[in-house]
């Protein structure tokens, strides 16, 4: 009799840039009407299974990032977890400190972390919302099966996202999705 091999699902991580922000003299602007529509479309893509259901949703504490995911969190009835390590680079923050902060957050998803070091389940789908500079730094740190420094991954318009699957045995992040959510893209799903 042959050996039955069952492949368990791997963790999926989707990193989103926040939706389109308003221009405001405040240091923490919310979303434009277009940005709010992007957040609503994101929710509809999850409801239509164009994107997987996240079990955890992390956001930068900035209002624009929270607003991008708030409708989704409310619809799925899961908490929006704010994490200061997802903030954009602070004025006066050195590149070394910023890079370490981004790396500290990404280490939450390391398959080599001891089980007691994280409450994450290796089969979860995680959504993360942050800022352009944070994403650029994260992509420079992620050990991926694709060159994330190529031109394709340099530009990050509002509500652009990249999805990865993490192998359970290695630390290689494999790209599974790369798109932008915009009202005109809604008909594609």
pLDDT 10s digits, 31-87:
999 999 999 999 999 999 999 999 999 999 999 999 999 999 999 999 999 999 999
Q: Where are the domains of the chain?
A: 11-188
Confidence at residue 51, expressed as pLDDT on a 0 to 100 scale: 95
Compute the distance between CA of residue 118 and CA of residue 56 in angstroms, rounded to an integer.
13
With bands split at pLDDT 50, 70 and 90, how would you rate the model's confidence at 108? confident
- Kindly provide the residue ranges of all beta strands, DSSP E only, lying in 18-116, ordered along the sequence: 56-59, 80-82
Query: Is the CATH number 3.40.50.1240 carried by domain 11-188?
Result: yes
- How many other C-beta atoms lie within 10 A of the C-beta of residue 53? 12
Does 184 score more than 70 pLDDT?
no
């Amino acid at each position: 009799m042959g050996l039955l091999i069952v492949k368990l699902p791997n963790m999926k991580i989707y990193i989103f840039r926040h939706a389109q922000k308003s221009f405001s003299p405040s240091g923490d602007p919310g979303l434009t009407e277009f940005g709010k529509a992007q957040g609503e479309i994101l929710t509809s893509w999850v409801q239509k299974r164009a994107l997987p259901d996240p079990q955890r949703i992390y956001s930068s504490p900035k209002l624009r990032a929270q607003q991008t995911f708030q409708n989704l969190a409310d619809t799925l009835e899961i908490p929006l977890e704010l994490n200061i390590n997802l903030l954009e680079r602070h004025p006066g923050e050195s590149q070394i400190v910023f890079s370490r902060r981004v790396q500290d957050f990404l280490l939450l998803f390391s398959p080599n972390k001891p089980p007691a070091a994280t409450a994450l389940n290796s089969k979860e789908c995680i959504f993360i919302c942050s800022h352009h500079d944070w994403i650029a730094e994260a992509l420079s740190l992620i050990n991926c099966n694709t060159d994330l420094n190529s031109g394709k991954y340099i530009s990050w318009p509002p509500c652009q996202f990249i999805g990865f699957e993490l192998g359970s045995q290695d630390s290689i992040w494999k790209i599974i999705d790369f798109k932008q959510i915009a009202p005109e893209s809604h008909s594609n799903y």
